[in-house]
Chains A and B, each alone.
Chain A
Amino acid sequence: MLLNELLKPHRHWLYLSWSAGLGAGLATVGLAGSIAWLVHRAVFDPGATSVWPWLGLALVAVIARHALQTLRDWAGQHLAYRVRRDLRQRMLATAARIGPVHLAHRGHSGAWASRYQEQVDALAGYYARFLPTLGLALAVPLVLLAAAFTQDWIAGLLLLFSAPLIPVFMALIGMGSQQIHEMQQDQQNRLAGHFLDRIRNLDLLRRSLALDAATDEVAIATEGYRRLSMRVLRVAFLSSAVMEFFSAVAIGLVAIYVGFSLLGFLEFGPAGQMTLFSGLFVLLLAPEYFQPLRLFAQSYHDRAGAVAAAASLAPLFDERTTAAGVPARMPVIPAEFLLLLDTVSVRYDPDGPAALDSLTLQVTAGEHVAIVGPSGSGKSTLLALCAGFVSPSTGSIALADPARSFAWIGQRAHLFHGNLRDNLLLGTADNTPDDLLIGALNSAGLPVTDPTLPLGLDTPIGEGNRGLSGGQAQRVALARALLSGSRLWLLDEPTSALDPETENDLLQRVLEHARERAVTILLATHHAAVHARLDRMIRLDHGRLVADEHV
C-alpha cells in the first residue's frame, strides 16, 4: 500500500515521535504524583519537611513533559514533510517517465496540478498526527493505567473498562466516513474543474447572456460541495464527541468513587485504604489517560482523508506503463534511413484494441511524410511512438543518430508562462542572442514589430497562451523548432485549429524551412489540402498501414 511504502524510508522519525510521547507520559506521572503528594502532606502532615524537593521535582517534570511533547510533534511534522517531498518528486519523475500521452490518459494537467498540491497535502495529517497518536494512544494510557493500579485497582479498572468502549463506538461512526471522504474529494475536483471551465469561457457566457445563469450554476455547485463537506465534518465531530463523552463520564466516575471511598462509604477492596494522595493522584491521571485517545480520535479523520487521497494517487504510479524514452539506436541501421519501424504494435490497454497494428515503415532523411486517416486511426500514436512518448508493445523501432533530437508541434502549441524570449529559448541554448530569436520569429511569420507584441521579445505570455492568437502561438512553436536545429520534426495536426489562411501560410513556411535545412517531417493531418503538398503520404486505418504513396 502506498501509505506504508512512503513511510518506510523515514520510519525513524515515527519512532522518535513515539519515544518522545512515551517519555512525556512518564513525566506526567511524575508531575501528578508530586502535586498529589504536596497536597496530601500539607493537609495531613503540615510542616514535616520542606516543600521544595517536591516542588522541584514537579518543575523538572513540567519542563521534561513539554520539551518531549515538542519533540513528539516536531518529529511527526518532519515525517510528513519528508514523505510529501518524496511523493511529489515521484510524481514529477513518473510524469517524465510516462510522457505526455500516458499522462493525458490519467487526467488533464489541471487535475495533475491539483493532485500534486492538494491531494499530496491531504496525506500530511496521516503522518504528522495519525501515526504518532496511533502508537501513543496505546502506550501512554497503559503507562498511566499501570501507575493508577499501583494506588487503587478499582479506580484502575474503572479507567480500563471505559477505554475499550471508545474504539468500538468510533469504528461504528467511522465506517461510512471514508466513503464520504472520497465523495467529497471527487466533488472538490469537480468543483475546481467547473470553475476553471466557466472562467475560461467568460466571453462565450457574456455573448450568450448566460453570465447570470452560470453564476447560479456555480452557486448550486458550491452549495453541493458545502453540504458534502458538512457531512464529512459531522462524522468527525460525532466521533470526537463520543470520545469526549466517555472521558468526561469516566473522570466523573473516578472522582465520585474516590470521594465516596475517602468518606468511608465504600468498604470493599482497596477502597477502605484510599488516601488523599492516592485519590488525587488517580484523579489527576484520569484526564491525561484520555488525552492520547482524544488526539487519536481527532486524527482519525486525517486517516480517512489520507486513505482516500492515496487511493486516487496510487494508480498514477502504475509501473507497467512507461514511455520508451528516445528509442534505442539499432546497431546496424542502414545509412540512408533515419527511422525504421519493424512490425510495431502499440496497445494502450493490454486487452484493448491495438492503436497501431504490425506497422512496418522506413523513412529516409529529408523526406516529408504526411500521415492521414480518420480520427482514431493511429496518426497521433505513430508520432508519439517516434517521439518516444509511448513504447511498442511488440516489434521494434530504431532511429539514426540525427533523429534522436526532435522538435514537436501539436494542435495547440503549449506556451510557457513567462515572456516570449523564454518561450523561444526553450528550444535552444540560454545565451542565444536576441537577433537570432528575432530572425526565427520572422521566418515563422511573426515579426517582432507586430502590434500585438508591444514589448517585443519581452511581451509577457499568460497562461493558456493568453495575449497571442492560436496562429501566433503555432508560429512561436515553429520558431522554437527552427531554433532547436533538430533534424526531425514531429507535427501533430499543427494547423487544424487555424483558419485556412493562416494554415496555408504556416504550412508554406514549415515546408520551406524544412527543405532548406534538410529536415525530415512527419506530419499528421486530415486535410487534403495539407497532405497534397508533402512528398509522401501514408494512410492509416484502425492502426494498420493501408496506403503508402510517393508524390
Chain B
Amino acid sequence: MADSWPTNMSDWDFLRQVFRGSRVWTGSAYLLLALTWIAGIALLALSGWFITASALAGAGFLLGLELFTPSAGIRAAAILRTLSRYGERVIGHEAVLRVLARLRARSFASISRLPVSAQRQLRSGDLQHRLTTDIDTLDAIPLRITGPIVAATLAALAATGLTLWLAPWPATALLLTTAGLTLSASLLAARVGRARGRALVEQRSRQRVALLDFFGGLADLIAYRRVDAERSRLEALEYEQATAALFQERVSLVADQAVQGMVALTTLAMLWLALHWHAHGVIDAPVAVLLTLMTLGLNEALSTLPGAFWRTGESLQAATRLRALGVDPSTTPRPRTRVSHSKVAEPPAPVSGFRVSNLAIGFAGNRPLLSGLNFLLEPGQPLVLHGGSGLGKSTLLETLAGERVPLSGSIHLTGRSITELPEPLLYRTVGYLPQETRLLDDSVARNLRLGQPELSDVMLWNALEKVDLAHALRSEGSGLDYPVGETGRRLSGGQARRMALAWLLLRATPVVLLDEPFSGLDHNTEQRILARIRPWLEARCAAIVTHAPERLPREWPRLDLTGNAR
C-alpha cells in the first residue's frame, strides 16, 4: 500500500485520505456545531423580537400578541444550544482522536516496512517527533478548519434565508458582504500564516535535535568549555522559534478582533437600515430588532474563522513530513487479514549447507573490502573467521546475514540464494548476533520472548542458565521481570551481551552468525559459556567472527581473512 501510493499526492489529498474514514462522525459534529450557532442566533433574535413586540403590546400599539410560541422558542433554543455544543465537542474529538491513534499505529507500521537502508538513515528523535507532535497537529484540520467553515456557512445561510424572507434585499446583501469579507480576511491570515507555520514545524524539529545534543553531550560541552556557546546557540534558536510563534498568534488575534469588529459594524449598519425601513413602514419594529440582533449573533460563528485558518500551515507541514515517510493515509478500520509472522509457523526447511561462492563484499562504489571468499558452513563444523582489525569481518557477517547486498558472488542456503528468501523465512533460518548489542527498554522476559511470545519461563531460565546470567537475576529479586532500562543501561556491558546471546539461543535457527559473541566478558566466564553452548552451536551451520581465535575450540575450522583483503 505504502509503496503504491503516488508520490505527487498533495498534502491536502493526504489529509483528506486520513480523515475519510470518520466522515459520518465528523459530519455529524459539523452539523451539531452549525446547530449550536443557529440556536445562539435564534436565542438573541427571538428575545429581541419578543421584547419589542411586548413593549408595543404593553403600550397598546399591538393587539393579539401570542406569548406561548416565542417564550417556548427562547427556552428551546437555550437548551438546544447547550446540548448540541456538548455533543459537537465530544463527537468531533472522539472521531478525530480515533483517526489519529490509528494513523500513529499505521505510521509506525509504514516505518517498520521501509527498506533497511532507508530505516538506518532516519533520525530517531525526529521520527519520534513526527509520530507524536506532528500527528497531534493534524487535529486542527477537522476541528478548527473544516468544521468551523462548514458550520459558519450553514449558519450564515440560515441567517440570509431569514433576511430574504423578512426584509428587502439590501439586508441580505449586507450579510453576504460581511460573510465574504470574513472569508477573505481569513484567507489572508492563512496566507500570511501558512509559510510561517511550515517553517515553525521545521524549527521545532531542529530545536529538538539541538536539545538532545545539549542534554546528552553536556559532559563534553563542560569539558571543552562550550557550554556557554551552546547555551547561547540554543537561546538564539528558541528566540527565533518563539518570536515566529508569537507572530502567528498575533496575526490570529488581530484577525479575530478585526472580524468581530466588522460584525459589530455590520450590526450597526443593519440597525440603521432596519430603522430606516421601519420609519417608512416597510417592516415593523419587532422585525427591525430581530434583524439587528440576528446580525450580532452571527459574530460567534464568523469570529472563529480567521483564527482557524492560520493553523493550516502547521498541519500541512506535518502532513508533508508524514508523507515523506511513505505513511499510508487511509485510516479506515479494516479487519486484520495479515498473517502474524511472530507465531512460530512451520519450522524452516532443514538446512544442509550454507555455501559462499566467490563472494566480494564492501561498500557500494568503493573497492571491495574482502573478495574471493569461498566456504561452506555445515553442522558440526563452526567456522571461525579471524584476521586483523578493520579488515571488514563485521561487514562480511552482515552480508552473510542478508542485511547487506554482496558486491559480487553468491550466498546459497540449501541451493537457494539468500537474496531471494522472503524476509520471514530468512530470519527464521538465519540467526545473527551483530557486534552492537541492542535491547528493548522492557523486562528481561519481554526481551527474550521478542518474536516468540509462546516461550515458557522454564525455557527462558534455561537459556539464561547457559549464558551464566540466571544466578545474577535470581539473586537480584525481580527475576525475569527485571527491567533492563533504556538501551540496556541497567545491565553491565557484559550482561547485556549475554542477554543478546540468550535471545539468539532461544531463536534456535539452523544457521547462526556470531560477531564477537563474548565481547565484554572475562576469560573464565567466556570459557564457561562456551562449554555450555558448544553442543548447541555444533548442531547448526555456524560462523563466528573473533579477534582471538585461540580462545575457541581447536577442532573448529578457521579462516584467516587477511588473504582476502584488498
In the bound complex, residues from chain B placing their C-beta under 8 Å from that of A528 are: 522
Instruction: Say if the beta carbon of A1 comes within 8 Å of chain B.
Output: no
The reply to whether B226 and A196 form a contact with Cβ atoms under 8 Å apart is no
In the bound complex, residues from chain B placing their C-beta under 8 Å from that of A270 are: none
Instruction: Say if the beta carbon of B467 comes within 8 Å of chain A.
Output: no
Instruction: Say if the beta carbon of B104 comes within 8 Å of chain A.
Output: yes
The reply to whether B108 and A215 form a contact with Cβ atoms under 8 Å apart is yes
| Count of chain A residues near B, Cβ 8 A | 152
In the bound complex, residues from chain A placing their C-beta under 8 Å from that of B275 are: 38-39, 42, 51
Instruction: Say if the beta carbon of B132 comes within 8 Å of chain A.
Output: yes
Instruction: Say if the beta carbon of A539 comes within 8 Å of chain B.
Output: no
In the bound complex, residues from chain A placing their C-beta under 8 Å from that of B487 are: 200
Binds B, one of A55-63, A166-174, A303-311, A333-341: A55-63
The reply to whether A74 and B253 form a contact with Cβ atoms under 8 Å apart is yes
The reply to whether A44 and B260 form a contact with Cβ atoms under 8 Å apart is no
Residue of B nearest to A233 (CB): B93
Instruction: Say if the beta carbon of A183 comes within 8 Å of chain B.
Output: no
In the bound complex, residues from chain A placing their C-beta under 8 Å from that of B98 are: 226
Instruction: Decide: A212 near B340, CB < 8 A? Known: A74-B253, A117-B204, A252-B43.
Output: yes
| Nearest chain B CB to A330 CB, angstrom units | 21
Residue of A nearest to B518 (CB): A500
Instruction: Say if the beta carbon of A464 comes within 8 Å of chain B.
Output: yes
**Bound complex: CA of A235 vs CA of B245, how far in Å?**
28
The reply to whether A259 and B54 form a contact with Cβ atoms under 8 Å apart is yes
Instruction: Decide: A207 near B43, CB < 8 A? Known: A196-B128, A215-B108, A426-B220.
Output: no
Chain B 204-236 residues near chain A, CB threshold 8 A: 204, 207-228, 231, 234-235
Partner among B342, B516, B520 whose Cβ is within 8 Å of the Cβ of A210: B342
| Nearest chain B CB to A270 CB, angstrom units | 14
**Bound complex: CA of A258 vs CA of B423, how far in Å?**
78
The reply to whether B104 and A230 form a contact with Cβ atoms under 8 Å apart is no
Interface SS of B by simple majority: helix
The reply to whether A244 and B74 form a contact with Cβ atoms under 8 Å apart is no
The reply to whether A88 and B292 form a contact with Cβ atoms under 8 Å apart is no
Instruction: Say if the beta carbon of A108 comes within 8 Å of chain B.
Output: yes
Instruction: Say if the beta carbon of A11 comes within 8 Å of chain B.
Output: no
In the bound complex, residues from chain A placing their C-beta under 8 Å from that of B423 are: 206
Interface 1/0s, chain B 28-62, versus A by CB < 8 A? 00000000000000011011101111111111000
Binds A, one of B164-172, B181-189, B431-439, B556-564: B431-439
Instruction: Decide: A218 near B250, CB < 8 A? Known: A35-B292, A118-B133.
Output: no
**Bound complex: CA of A410 vs CA of B220, how far in Å?**
9
- Interface size class on chain B is 35 or more
Chain A 90-116 residues near chain B, CB threshold 8 A: 92-93, 95-96, 99-100, 103, 108-110, 112-113, 116
Instruction: Decide: A198 near B78, CB < 8 A? Known: A51-B275, A100-B219, A209-B341.
Output: no
Partner among B293, B434, B519 whose Cβ is within 8 Å of the Cβ of A500: B519
Instruction: Say if the beta carbon of A331 comes within 8 Å of chain B.
Output: no
Interface 1/0s, chain A 249-286, versus B by CB < 8 A? 10110111011111110000000000110011001100
Interface 1/0s, chain B 271-298, versus A by CB < 8 A? 1100100110000010011001100000
Residue of B nearest to A116 (CB): B211
Partner among A99, A262, A417 whose Cβ is within 8 Å of the Cβ of B58: A262
The reply to whether B265 and A62 form a contact with Cβ atoms under 8 Å apart is yes
In the bound complex, residues from chain A placing their C-beta under 8 Å from that of B218 are: 95-96, 99-100, 103
In the bound complex, residues from chain B placing their C-beta under 8 Å from that of A466 are: 120-121, 123
Instruction: Say if the beta carbon of A496 comes within 8 Å of chain B.
Output: yes
The reply to whether A498 and B519 form a contact with Cβ atoms under 8 Å apart is yes
Partner among B53, B89, B105, B265 whose Cβ is within 8 Å of the Cβ of A218: B105
Instruction: Say if the beta carbon of A192 comes within 8 Å of chain B.
Output: yes
Instruction: Say if the beta carbon of A203 comes within 8 Å of chain B.
Output: yes
The reply to whether B90 and A192 form a contact with Cβ atoms under 8 Å apart is no
Chain A 197-217 residues near chain B, CB threshold 8 A: 197-215
The reply to whether A452 and B55 form a contact with Cβ atoms under 8 Å apart is no
Instruction: Say if the beta carbon of B195 comes within 8 Å of chain A.
Output: no
Instruction: Say if the beta carbon of A46 comes within 8 Å of chain B.
Output: yes
**Bound complex: CA of A501 vs CA of B547, how far in Å?**
6
| Nearest chain B CB to A289 CB, angstrom units | 14
Instruction: Say if the beta carbon of A416 comes within 8 Å of chain B.
Output: yes
Instruction: Say if the beta carbon of A84 comes within 8 Å of chain B.
Output: yes
Instruction: Say if the beta carbon of B555 comes within 8 Å of chain A.
Output: no
In the bound complex, residues from chain A placing their C-beta under 8 Å from that of B11 are: none
**Bound complex: CA of A460 vs CA of B520, how far in Å?**
29
The reply to whether A263 and B54 form a contact with Cβ atoms under 8 Å apart is yes
**Bound complex: CA of A523 vs CA of B392, how far in Å?**
30
Instruction: Say if the beta carbon of A69 comes within 8 Å of chain B.
Output: yes
Instruction: Say if the beta carbon of B97 comes within 8 Å of chain A.
Output: yes
Interface 1/0s, chain A 512-535, versus B by CB < 8 A? 000000000000001110000000
The reply to whether A193 and B441 form a contact with Cβ atoms under 8 Å apart is yes
**Bound complex: CA of A451 vs CA of B78, how far in Å?**
74
**Bound complex: CA of A192 vs CA of B208, how far in Å?**
13
Instruction: Say if the beta carbon of B311 comes within 8 Å of chain A.
Output: no
The reply to whether B438 and A203 form a contact with Cβ atoms under 8 Å apart is yes
The reply to whether B89 and A233 form a contact with Cβ atoms under 8 Å apart is yes
In the bound complex, residues from chain B placing their C-beta under 8 Å from that of A502 are: 389
In the bound complex, residues from chain A placing their C-beta under 8 Å from that of B211 are: 109, 112-113, 116-117
Instruction: Say if the beta carbon of B3 comes within 8 Å of chain A.
Output: no
The reply to whether B438 and A43 form a contact with Cβ atoms under 8 Å apart is no
Instruction: Decide: A212 near B341, CB < 8 A? Known: A73-B253, A193-B441, A248-B82.
Output: yes
**Bound complex: CA of A527 vs CA of B522, how far in Å?**
8
In the bound complex, residues from chain B placing their C-beta under 8 Å from that of A110 are: 125, 128, 212
The reply to whether A255 and B209 form a contact with Cβ atoms under 8 Å apart is no
Instruction: Decide: A204 near B450, CB < 8 A? Known: A237-B90, A279-B51.
Output: yes
Instruction: Say if the beta carbon of B268 comes within 8 Å of chain A.
Output: yes
Instruction: Say if the beta carbon of A408 comes within 8 Å of chain B.
Output: yes
The reply to whether A195 and B131 form a contact with Cβ atoms under 8 Å apart is yes
Instruction: Say if the beta carbon of A300 comes within 8 Å of chain B.
Output: no
**Bound complex: CA of A287 vs CA of B77, how far in Å?**
14
The reply to whether B253 and A77 form a contact with Cβ atoms under 8 Å apart is yes
Residue of A nearest to B75 (CB): A252
Partner among B82, B97, B113, B238 whose Cβ is within 8 Å of the Cβ of A230: B97
Instruction: Say if the beta carbon of A89 comes within 8 Å of chain B.
Output: yes
Greatest chain A CB density within 10 A among B58, B239, B442 is at B58
Instruction: Decide: A248 near B342, CB < 8 A? Known: A51-B272, A70-B257, A215-B108.
Output: no
In the bound complex, residues from chain A placing their C-beta under 8 Å from that of B267 are: 35
In the bound complex, residues from chain B placing their C-beta under 8 Å from that of A153 are: none
The reply to whether B112 and A414 form a contact with Cβ atoms under 8 Å apart is no
The reply to whether A414 and B54 form a contact with Cβ atoms under 8 Å apart is no
Chain A 5-42 residues near chain B, CB threshold 8 A: 31, 35, 38-39, 42
The reply to whether B220 and A408 form a contact with Cβ atoms under 8 Å apart is yes
Instruction: Say if the beta carbon of B533 comes within 8 Å of chain A.
Output: no
**Bound complex: CA of A230 vs CA of B520, how far in Å?**
48
Instruction: Say if the beta carbon of B486 comes within 8 Å of chain A.
Output: yes
Instruction: Decide: A43 near B52, CB < 8 A? Known: A209-B424, A417-B209.
Output: yes
The reply to whether B453 and A213 form a contact with Cβ atoms under 8 Å apart is yes
Instruction: Say if the beta carbon of A179 comes within 8 Å of chain B.
Output: no
**Bound complex: CA of A44 vs CA of B59, how far in Å?**
9
Instruction: Say if the beta carbon of A301 comes within 8 Å of chain B.
Output: no
In the bound complex, residues from chain A placing their C-beta under 8 Å from that of B93 are: 230, 233, 237
In the bound complex, residues from chain A placing their C-beta under 8 Å from that of B191 are: none
The reply to whether A500 and B516 form a contact with Cβ atoms under 8 Å apart is yes
**Bound complex: CA of A96 vs CA of B210, how far in Å?**
15
Interface 1/0s, chain A 382-407, versus B by CB < 8 A? 00000111000000000000000111
The reply to whether B128 and A209 form a contact with Cβ atoms under 8 Å apart is no
7 closest Cβ pairs, A-B complex: A501-B547, A208-B451, A255-B47, A248-B78, A66-B261, A219-B105, A109-B215
Can you sample 19 A-B contacts with CB below 8 Å? Answer: A43-B52, A47-B279, A51-B275, A85-B238, A95-B218, A113-B215, A128-B249, A195-B132, A196-B128, A199-B111, A210-B342, A213-B451, A252-B77, A259-B51, A406-B223, A451-B362, A462-B121, A500-B516, A500-B547
Known: A113-B215, A209-B428. 10 other contacts (CB 8 A): A31-B264, A62-B265, A192-B132, A211-B341, A214-B112, A237-B89, A256-B74, A416-B217, A454-B366, A470-B435
